[in-house]
Structure 1
Amino acid sequence: MKFFQVKTVTETLEIIHKHYGPVRQPVTLPLGQALGMVLAEDIRSTEQVPHFARSTVDGYAVRARDTYGASDSLPAFLDIQGKVEMGKPASLLLKEGQAQGIPTGGMIPEGADSVVMIEHVEEVGELLNVFRQVAPGENIIRAGDDVMAGELVMSAGQRLRPQDLGVLAAIGKTRVTVYPRPVVAILSTGDEIVPADKAQLAPGEVRDINSVTIGAAARACGATVIDGGIVKDDYAAFLARARELFEQADLVILSGGSSVGTRDYTEQVMQALGEPGVLVHGVSIKPGKPTILAKAGEKPIMGLPGHPASALIIFHLFTAPLIARLEGLAPTELDRRIVARIGRNIPSAVGRSDYVRVKLEKRGEEWWAHPVFGKSGLISTLVKSDGMVEIAAQKEGILEGEFVHVHLFA
């Protein structure tokens, strides 16, 4: 059966990296609208920041050698020659034995090479008593110390954070070219699935958890989400709704209906949406083996397991990297792992990758990861977890105290 021609986790991630990328052209936006979006261009500065040497403290601009040996008992004496004003050029040349008052951010006058803090001086008329020596460059940011002209400030594939917007503003880059936020449509399937807001459940009915959890996870990845609702186990209705969502979205996620069974239409629907069709049908992993990945044109379609915990684990492993590919995010931006020690022995079957949910505990300088056991369909196990630990397919388990990588949940 095709279902049992499973891929490994590594093979599945390689397929995601090879076959998917941004499906929409980059757009140019003002900085204020670009937070959280991914750069589609390298940005080099056309100027240096700051473009003049400036003081980092309130005090007096001086020549450092004029302060050498200064102390509380034997201060250096300098002549006060004017004051630098904020937002204006320092027009007076500083000569030997002189000092000029300067505010934080003020321009360093020509001839000065340091600033002595106001706490370490005393004004006596036109004379300045300096009680502490300073070194050349002390309390000064030199021109270009922050950003040099021609410097690569940011690379394509980087998600823009508040501090990134700040440096772009500093170099006068007020519009940036970014990839549009991916649009993700989620369609829940199954005769037993009912809306989450149904007050009274009939026997056999289950509230729709996956559209809520997977939708929230997709938003946390930076996507815009379309709730496609629920469709019954009817091929014609399933395909019609999937086609509607396919036209609106960059990625369609089909939740449920990915197991082997006579009423499973997920693979058929994926194939019907377009070529090349299904790329992965089953992953050698627990939980989440019945995972399907397809491509129609340039757009990905993904079938997640129906069990909520399994679906969310598969989302973190595969759907999040897939959304990142749609965003144009660089692979180096994806790693959300920490090193921890495992809190107890965990057995595992050789031949498949096991992902165990864990709760983190800090002991001194080390993190410890304690397994949170429970069946794959229990969403409560994820509520109690901070992340998950992989037991590689070739291992028979993990020993207590062994170092592991914990994949953190968003």
Structure 2
Amino acid sequence: MKFFQVKSVEETQKLIHKMVKPLTEAITMPLDHALHFVLAEDITVRENVPNFRRSSVDGYAVRAKDTFGSSESMPGFLTVVGEVKMGQVPERPIQSGEAMYVPTGGMLPDGSDAVVMIEHCEEISHLLNLYRQVAPGENLISIGEDLKEGAVLLAKGTKLRAQEIGALASQGIHQVSVWRKPVVGYLSSGDEIVPMESPDLRMGEVRDMNGATIGSLVKQWGLDFIYGGIVEDSRDELERRARELLDISDCLILTGGSSVGTKDYSVEVIEALGDPGVYVHGISIKPGKPTILSQAGIKPIIGLPGHPASAMIIFSLFGKPILDILGGGSVNHLRLTFAKVTKNIPSAPGRTDYIRIRLFEENNEWYAEPILGKSGLISTLVKSDGMLEIASESEGIHKGERVPVILFQ
């Protein structure tokens, strides 16, 4: 087949960045509905945070120079002239030789330039014994030290997580301009595939596990998912259903039929859906070699292998960056950790291998136990916490080697 010319993982990643373009439809979204959306504009800081000098500890506001030389063996002494109430302005400034109690987050009185932690002093009848000195600026947060008015708070292309939502709320921002989320359409193909709710299976049938797995990943990444159902092994029917779903989606995913088998129509159908067409048919990778990547206009099309483990791994490695770019954000890399491998893992040079692993902890050290098995085995997915990569130039990994592990999210 003329399309089946394998690309390396690195070549595939470069082609994805070249071919996939972001959506450009901006919408205004209330902040409390904006989670997982991508900002369509820079957001600048409207007001300083904090907008007053405040203490970062429980202690006493002082003039730093009044504390110089204080120690446990030779305490300094200051007169306590009151305390600051939370949320209130200090009643008066402090003068040389004075101190004022201030709680964490409390406003500092004028005249003070440091705070002595309560652990390092002792108040006795309005006399403060100092057991250590402090430097100017110690234990306080200056105006604008957290967020400075006029600075960029969040850049265009930032995907909004809970912490970004909180930062926007701190500025009184209650609605934001964001890119419309991509809608992901999905079709399973194959005469042997039946709906997942089927109570009984006839000989040779399998339930549509991939539809549930891929759909769950799309939703987990914060995007909208349309399940288009199952298509029988018919080229005309597959093309008709694919066109219908592509019309209402921003990205189309097909599973099954990406090999070079006699009843394989996927690559022909995908190529027929629109120009520029297929740019990857085959990746030098295990599992998942017969992967298809294509573009119909501005809409990406992904042809995944039919085996569940292969489909999930390929979609995590290549589908996620495609959807990240399509959604207008930067590519969010998969979560990594490090662990020692529990056994030797051989690999064939010239091909990138992804090995499913189980993580466990022993003697305060994380270990990665390979879960070996054929790509169609469901049990290897259920037992796995992640996967490790064996680069194409490597001949394998040695037992005890500490390697990066891509975590399944």
TM-score between both structures, scaled by the size of structure 1: 0.90
The 5 Å alignment of 1:193-208 reads 193-208=193-208
Match of 2:283 in 1: 283
**CA displacement 1:229-288 (0-9 Å, x = unmatched):** 111112232222212211221111111121223322212221232111111111122211
Which residue of structure 1 lines up, in the alignment, with residue 99 of structure 2?
Answer: 99
The answer on whether the counterparts of 1:182 and 1:222 sit within 8 Å (CA) in structure 2 is no
Q: Distance in 2 between matches of 1:372 and 1:97?
A: 69
Residues 314/73 of structure 1: CA separation in 2 closer, same or farther (3 Å cut): closer
Task: Give secondary structure in 1 for the equivalent of 2:100.
Answer: strand
Partner of 1:367: 366
SS of aligned partner of 1:4: coil
How many residues were matched structurally?
407
CA-to-aligned-CA distance 1:135-156 (integer Å, 9 cap, x gap): 1333321212212234333333
CA distance in 2, matches of 1:347, 1:80: 72
Q: SS of the counterpart of 2:215?
A: helix
Structure-2 residue corresponding to 1:132:
131
C-alpha distance in 2, partners of 1:329/1:407? 21
**Cα deviation code 1:112-148 (max 9, x no counterpart):** 1223455643352xx3333434413333212122122
1:342–1:74 CA distance, 2 compared to 1 (3 A): closer
Q: Which amino acid aligns with 2:131?
A: R
CA distance in 2, matches of 1:101, 1:394: 64
Gaps of 5+ in 1: none
In 2, the alpha carbon distance for the partners of 1:12 and 1:75 equals 68
For 1:356, the equivalent position in structure 2 comes to: 355
- Equivalent residue number for residue 256 of structure 2: 256
Q: CA–CA distance in 2 between the matches of 1:385 and 1:306? A: 19
In the other structure, the counterpart of 1:272 is 272
Q: CA deviation at 1:4?
A: 3.0
Taking the aligned partners of 2:100 and 2:341, their CA distance within structure 1 comes to 61
Mapped partners of 1:312, 1:51: distance in 2: 48
Structure 1 residue 192, shift from structure 2 partner: 0.9
| 8 Å Cα contact 1:39/1:160 also seen in 2 | yes
- Partners of 1:67 and 1:130 within 8 A in 2: no
**CA distance 1:207–1:167, change in 2 (3 Å):** same
Q: Give the distance between the partners of 1:292 and 1:268, measured in 2 at CA.
A: 11
Aligned to 1:379: 378
- 1:64·1:133 contact (CA, 8 Å) conserved in 2? no
Question: 1:336 is matched with which residue?
Answer: 335
Q: What is residue 149 of structure 1 aligned with on the other side?
A: 149
Q: Deviations over 1:359-402 (max 9, x none)?
A: 22334565332211111111210111122222233333333233
Which letter does structure 1 place at the counterpart of 2:106?
A: G
TM-score (norm 2): 0.91
Query: What is the CA-CA distance between 1:82 and the residue it aligns to?
Result: 4.3
Match of 2:7?
7
Match of 1:238 in 2: 238
> Partner amino acid for 1:309?
A
Cα displacement (A) at 1:73: 8.0
Instruction: Summarize the Cα distance change of 1:405–1:187 in structure 2 as closer, same or farther, 3 Å threshold.
Output: same
The two structures, once aligned, show a CA RMSD in angstroms of 2.4
- Moved >4 Å (runs of 4+): 68-77, 363-366
Once the two structures are TM-superposed, the CA of residue 59 in structure 1 deviates from its matched residue by 4.1
Which residue is equivalent to 1:121?
122
Q: Does 1:183 align with 2:183?
A: yes
Q: State the partner residue of 1:402.
A: 401
Amino acid across the alignment from 2:305: P
In 1: Cα distance, 2:74 partner to 2:392 partner: 73
Percent identity, please.
Answer: 53
Given that residues 75 and 129 in structure 1 are in contact (C-alpha distance below 8 angstroms), is that contact kept between their aligned partners in structure 2? no
**8 Å contact kept, 1:221–1:324:** no
Distance 1:344 1:78, change over 3 A: closer
Match of 1:37 in 2: 37
User: 1:221 maps to which residue?
Assistant: 221
Larger CA deviation: 202-211 vs 379-388: 379-388
